[in-house]
Amino acid sequence: MENFEPVIVAFCCHYCAYTAADMAGSQRLAYPPNVKIIRVPCSGKVDAIHIVKAFEKGADGVYVAGCLDGDCHFKNGNNRANRRVEYMKKYLDEIGIGRERLEMVMMSAGMGYLFAQIATEMTEKIRRLGPSPVHSMNGQLPIAS
Amino acid sequence: MITAERKPLEELIEFVRPFKRILLVGCNECVTVCAAGGRKEVGLLASGLKMALLQNGQDIEIREHTLERQCDPEYIDELLPMMDGVEAVMSMACGCGVQEIARRYKDRPVFPAVNTKFMGASERQGEWSERCQGCGNCLLGITGGICPIARCSKRLMNGPCGGSVTGKCEISRDVDCAWQLIWDRLKALGLEEQYLNIIPAKDWRSAGGGGPRKIIREDLAE
């Protein structure tokens, strides 16, 4: 448990969080390598099945990063993603994984510092929570391996 | 459409706990539209069940398949090649689909994954309301296209009860009084006099009071 390095999947909108991650790199802001970024055309593209499959395949934590309220390139994809994440939190509770392993965050493309800060905070939070109960029982870390 | 809601995961886990390999079957019709039991929900439930059981050290194989319709035997036959080694079937269709699978595959238990709710229509995305109770003798032609059986809490046939206040039903401020809706609509159509026609006591035999119902179209039946 001491050496536990969580696997965190971040679904990042192309128009904000993905560019913010780039910005963090340009600004030489370090963030934990635990965060695996998946670029999506809009946070509204992230479906419940993507979230649940991420956990099934070994993620310890997942977050969806979309544009600031009112700034969605596709009008309201970020708000849809937000509602979907809330719905999925309940499902994760039912499964026994726990709602705290899933988060929705919002940022603009210029917020490289916020991207790095959220990546760090999420990694710390999941590290405190420990491995996902799913693969900790299964003894497998599909993504990490 | 026929509307449904997924049962709590806890209940579904208890259904499948004794088995090592199950088949989870969705339906492409009504339950897909009301987001309860289509292809996507099959994927979500299969993942959820696998992960929930894995936490108890149980590794279950869940085969996934979604049929065009579960209420027709022609489609149910499609499942046959997938049945090899399957100990139980879980259906995400309405009660009709569950029963069709049970009828076709007699040697395996079949479990419902959803609770079938009502025949309804979409109010907006993600919200469905009851519109029809299938009474077998439609009154909509004389009630302004609004059903007093499905939408009046007391199924009153001749005007509202004393619980109708400012257009709302006494059971909840969120429920419209069906008879208020009927009156407003008849007035808008200039058919107020229609409201004065007394609807006689309804014969509920066609609504299921005469036992399970059946339709036989002799020109089609073989």
Does B179 map to a domain? yes
Does B128 map to a domain? no
Nearest to B44 among A49, A134, A138 (CB): A49
Same domain, yes or no: B109 and B192 = no
Tens digit of each residue's pLDDT (9 = 90 or more) over B64-100: 999 999 999 999 999 999 999 999 999 999 999 999 9
Same domain, yes or no: B17 and B96 = yes
Same domain, yes or no: B91 and B142 = no
Query: Which chain A residue has its CA at the smallest distance from B48's CA?
Result: A95
Same domain, yes or no: B60 and B140 = no
- Long-range CB pairs of B166-172, under 8 A, 24+ apart, other chains included: none
Nearest to B51 among A47, A48, A134 (CB): A134
Partners of A134 on chain B (C-beta within 8 Å) are: 51, 54-55
| Residue range of the domain that includes B169 | 133-207
Please count the structural domains in chain B: 2
Check A94 against B44: CB less than 8 A apart. Answer: no
Same domain, yes or no: B46 and B140 = no
Same domain, yes or no: B13 and B42 = yes
ipTM: 0.90
In this prediction, what percent of chain A has a pLDDT beyond 90?
90
Tens digit of each residue's pLDDT (9 = 90 or more) over A32-45: 999 999 999 999 99
For the purposes of burial, counting CB atoms within 10 Å of the CB of A40, is it exposed (0-12), middle (13-18) or buried (19 or more)?
buried
Partners of B57 on chain A (C-beta within 8 Å) are: 137
Does B68 map to a domain? yes
- A139 has a chain B CB within 8 A of its CB: no
Distance CA A128, CA B90 (A): 37
Class of domain A10-134: alpha beta
Does B126 map to a domain? no
Partners of B47 on chain A (C-beta within 8 Å) are: 49, 52-53, 55-56
> How is the beta sheet containing B2-6 ordered, strand by strand?
B2-6, B114-124, B127-132
Same domain, yes or no: B177 and B154 = yes
Same domain, yes or no: B112 and B191 = no
The secondary structure of A46-110 as a DSSP string is --HHHHHHHHHTT-SEEEEEEPPTT--TTSSHHHHHHHHHHHHHHHHHHHTS-GGGEEEEE--TT
Question: How much is the pTM?
Answer: 0.93
CA distance A53 to chain B (A): 7
